[in-house]
Structure formats: C-alpha cells, structure tokens
Amino acid sequence: MDEIHHRQKEQEEMQRSDAFVDIFSKVVSGGKAGYKTVVQVKPITTKCKSCGAVLDEKQKFCHECGTKNEALEKKEEKK
C-alpha cells in the first residue's frame, strides 16, 4: 500500500514539472511552438488497509473501522 502511495506521489510531481508539460505540449500539438497543454492531475487517494474505505490524506484513523492510517504514520516518520 505504501509503495502505491509513493508511486502516485512521484507521478504527480513529474506531471507538475515544467519539463513534462513542455514535452507533452509538443507531442499533443504536433510540434507547434508556443502551445501549452493543461495537465489534469488526479488527487492521491489513500484506502484503509482493513476495510478499503477511502481516507483523507491527513486522517489518522479510518472513519469506518477505526484502523490506523499507516500511510500517514510513515509519512510523519520520514520528516
């Protein structure tokens, strides 16, 4: 679960980079100069490992079953 969350974070950071937007704009426009594509980024979702309920990124415990949000706990440990 943590690995998936980490990959989603990396993908989001890459999609927000100027280099990615510039390259993607050239591909979409057929090489036209000055074309700027808007890249829509999906928000990262965290699911409860016990019941599968969708959790808010800052939620410490699951609102359905009370299980501790391990993704948040590991994120705080890295700080």
Which pLDDT score, from 0 to 100, does residue 66 have? 92
Q: Computed over its alpha carbons, how large is the radius of gyration of the chain?
A: 17
Give all strands (DSSP E) within 1-79, no chain letters. Answer: 46-47, 54-55
Q: Domain check: are 6 and 21 in the same one?
A: yes
Q: Domain check: are 36 and 52 in the same one?
A: no
Which pLDDT score, from 0 to 100, does residue 45 have? 77
Which pLDDT score, from 0 to 100, does residue 77 have? 60
| pTM metric for this prediction | 0.42
Q: Which domain holds residue 52?
A: 45-79
Query: How far apart, in whole angstroms, are the C-alpha atoms of residue 14 and residue 2?
Result: 18
pLDDT tier at 73 (50, 70, 90 boundaries)?
A: low
Query: How far apart, in whole angstroms, are the C-alpha atoms of residue 59 and residue 11?
Result: 22
Cβ count near 5 (within 10 Å)? 19
Which pLDDT score, from 0 to 100, does residue 36 have? 79
Query: How far apart, in whole angstroms, are the C-alpha atoms of residue 57 and residue 46?
Result: 6
Q: Domain check: are 34 and 50 in the same one?
A: no
**For 7-55, what is each residue's pLDDT tens digit?**
888 888 887 788 888 888 888 888 777 777 777 777 777 888 889 898 8
More confident residue, 71 or 20: 20
Number of domains in the chain: 2
